Amino acid sequence: MKDIRQLIIQTAVKEIQDGMYVNLGIGLPTLLANYLPEGIEVMLQSENGLLGIGPYPTEAEIDADLINAGKETVTATRGASYFDSAESFAMIRGGHIDLAILGGMEVSETGDLANWMIPGKMVKGMGGAMDLVNGAKKIVVVMEHVNKYGESKVKKACTLPLTGKGVVHRLITELAVFDFTDKGMVLVECVGEATIQEIREKTEAAFIVSPQLLNNVN
């Protein structure tokens, strides 16, 4: 059985295509920098002012001054550039980011996203998430399907403070890939060894199964 995070990352990396400008959110999404397929050129952007993030550094490569938005040390690719936060958010708000891959605490069946705070816990701010869900051309959320109590994080309605309403285009968990369409939330892929029945049992949200997936299963 593959590690849950590995299943999610290996599924999510398929969203990244050659030539894209991509923002990777704090936490789980940052791991994608180490899984990019060879032969494609992608510019990874961090809202603290770096365009051209590379893989995580080895011990010999660590530069304490070179960090991502999550304050983790990173490397920079050939052609990388550095700038201030104003320039960074101008890229985001101006619609120049092709894809944002963000972590999530909850996603609703209508594509609402909650990923910036839990009431009662200290939080320094929402970071760039609220700008990204409105400025990036496509929003993909990656998260574990259930919380530590076994409760579904894919909800009928989010219970945590929202980052954005109806902003998620695709949700990827260790069990499933969902798209959000005019017809509602659609299961388009079972991840790993997950079955449609297992996904239904672990999903609070209502969803339909894509005809293509049903054909493949049958």
Percent share of the chain, pLDDT over 70:
94
Q: β-strand 113-114 against 139-142: which pairing, if any?
A: unpaired
pLDDT for the residue 8: 97
Active-site pick, 47, 106, 109, 189: 47
* Amino acid at the residue 10: Q
Mean pLDDT of the chain: 93
Confidence tier at 1 by pLDDT (50, 70, 90):
very low
Alpha carbon separation from 88 to 18, 45, 81 (Å, rounded): 21, 8, 11
pLDDT in tens, 22-42: 999 988 999 999 999 888 999
pTM of the model: 0.94
Residue 69 in this model has a pLDDT that exceeds 90: no
Do 56 and 42 touch, CB atoms closer than 8 A?
no
Mean pLDDT throughout 139-168? 97
Residue 85 in this model has a pLDDT that exceeds 80: yes
Residue 4 in this model has a pLDDT that exceeds 70: yes
pLDDT in tens, 174-203: 999 999 999 999 999 999 999 999 999 999
pLDDT for the residue 124: 62
Q: Indicate if 47 belongs to the active site.
A: yes
Percent share of the chain, pLDDT over 90:
83
Residue among 163, 157, 154 at smallest CA distance from 198: 154
Residue 5 in this model has a pLDDT that exceeds 80: yes
pLDDT for the residue 215: 83
Residue 147 in this model has a pLDDT that exceeds 70: yes
Q: Where are the beta strands (DSSP E) in 54-114?
A: 76-82, 99-103, 106-108, 113-114
Residue 144 in this model has a pLDDT that exceeds 50: yes
